[in-house]
Homo-oligomer: A and B are copies of this chain.
Amino acid sequence: MRLITDMKDKRITLSHGAGGKLMHNLIEEIFKRHFSNPLLDIFDDSSVFSSLPEKEICFTTDSYTVQPIFFPGGDIGKLSICGTVNDLSVCGAKPFYISVSFIIEEGFEIEKLERIVISMKKAAEEADVKIITGDTKVVEKGKADKIFINTSGVGFKKRSLLLGRDFIKEEDVIIINGNIGEHGLAVIKERKGLEFDVEIESDCAPLNKMIEEIIESGAKIKFMRDPTRGGIATTLNEIVEGKNFGIILYEEKIPIGENVKSLCEILGFDPLYIANEGKVIIVAERKDADKILNKMRKNKYGRKAEIIGEVVGKPEGKVLLKTEIGSTRIIDMPTGEMFPRIC
Whether, in the assembled complex, A204 has its beta carbon less than 8 Å from a beta carbon of chain B, the answer is no
Find A19's partner among B17, B44, B53, B234 (CB 8 Å cutoff): B234
Contact status A337-B14, CB under 8 Å: yes
A327-B50 Cα distance, complex, nearest whole Å: 47
Residues of B within 8 A of A144 (CB): 65, 143-145, 148
Supposing A21-B334, A46-B88, A340-B14 touch, asked if A139 and B51 sit within 8 A by C-beta, the answer is no
The contact string, 1 if C-beta is below 8 Å from chain B, for chain A 129-146, is 000111101111011110
A340 and B139 contacting across the interface, CB-CB below 8 Å: yes
CA of A137 to CA of B55 in the docked complex: distance in angstroms? 31
Which of B14, B52, B153, B340 touches A140 (beta carbons < 8 Å)?
A: B340
With contacts A56-B51, A57-B154 taken as known, whether A15 is within 8 angstroms of B63 at the C-beta atoms is no
Q: Please tell me if the beta carbons of B101 and A19 are within 8 angstroms of each other in the complex.
A: no
A338 to B133, CA, bound (A): 24
Q: Nearest CB to that of A343 among chain B residues? A: B137
Q: Tell me if A269 is interfacial: C-beta within 8 Å of chain B.
A: no
Q: Which of A91-99, A116-124, A277-285 contacts B (4 or more CB under 8 A)?
A: A91-99
Is A167 part of the contact surface with B, judged by Cβ < 8 Å?
no
Known: A14-B340, A100-B61. A21 touches B56 (CB 8 A): no
**Which residues from chain B contact A15 at a C-beta distance below 8 Å?**
335-338
Closest to A22 in B: B335
Instruction: Find out whether the CB atom of B229 lies under 8 angstroms from the CB atom of A102.
Output: no
CA distance A51 to B14 in the complex (A): 39
**Whole-angstrom distance from the CB of A277 to the nearest CB of chain B?**
13
Rounded to whole Å, the gap between the CB of A84 and the closest CB of chain B is: 9
- Interface flags for A56-67 (1: CB within 8 Å of B; 0: not) read 111111111101
Q: In the complex, which residue of chain B has the Cβ closest to the Cβ of A238?
A: B43
Q: Indicate whether A48 reaches chain B with its CB closer than 8 angstroms.
A: yes
Q: Identify A101's interface contact among B22, B55, B62, CB under 8 A.
A: B62
Which residues of B sit under 8 angstroms from A62, Cβ to Cβ?
45, 101, 135
Q: Specify which chain B residues have a CB less than 8 angstroms from the CB of A150 in the assembled complex.
A: 61, 63, 101, 150, 152
Do B139 and A341 touch across chains, with their CB atoms under 8 A apart? yes
The reply to whether A91 and B46 form a contact with Cβ atoms under 8 Å apart is yes
Nearest Cβ on chain B to A160's Cβ, whole angstroms? 13
Nearest-Cβ distance from residue A184 to partner chain B, whole angstroms: 11
Task: Decide: A61 and B99 in contact? CB cutoff 8 A.
Answer: yes
Q: Is A18 an interface residue (CB 8 A)?
A: yes
A271 CB to closest chain B CB (Å) equals 15
Contacts of A336 in B (CB 8 A): 15, 20
| Known interface pairs A97-B59, A238-B43; A48-B334 also in contact (CB < 8 Å) | no
Closest 8 CB pairs of A and B: A19-B229, A46-B60, A19-B230, A61-B99, A152-B152, A51-B51, A20-B334, A150-B150
